[in-house]
Structure 1
Amino acid sequence: MRLDCLFTFTHTLTVEETLTEEVKEVKRTFAIAEDLFVKLENLAYWDRTTQKDILNEALEQYFADKEVKPIPDKQRKGKRGRKPA
């Protein structure tokens, strides 16, 4: 028995609609308290979301009422790792 006749779809998302806001991502490694990691892992599982989304939301809320000045160029450390040949 086919069930698709029971559902009606009024709108299908296009690629342009799903990619309206392009966000540049950066990968870094951080050490966090184990109990916080367990809470993060459990919350992501039960909310059916990703740990990345939870951390992004938490950081957005944290920085919402703060004014963050950029680091001056002379104090900024250079990139680490291999130098181009």
Structure 2
Amino acid sequence: MADLADHHGDQVGAYLRRRLGLTGSEAGGPPRVVRIDRYGLLVSHGRPGARRRTRLAFAQPVAGPAELARLLHPMLCPRAAERA
């Protein structure tokens, strides 16, 4: 997760805003991935003092690292996701 935040923060933030339907005014700061497990992403978002956590579930449990990489690819490469 640290790699996502450190190296791909802009892409991850934009993807999470789209998935959560957040606008800049209601976001209160960039949404961030708190935890990744085989069932999905746990995302923290909202204004300071009123942060919320939302689960973005995968369609099915992830079988391994290769499948996780495939599922995270649209988050990091939005143009590739548009072509698919």
The structure whose Rg is larger is: 1
If each structure's strand is expressed as a fraction of its own residues, which one has the higher value? 2
If asked which structure has higher relative contact order (CA below 8 Å, sep 6+), I would say 2
If each structure's helix is expressed as a fraction of its own residues, which one has the higher value? 2
Range class of TM-score, shorter chain: under 0.3
TM-score with structure 1 length normalisation? 0.25
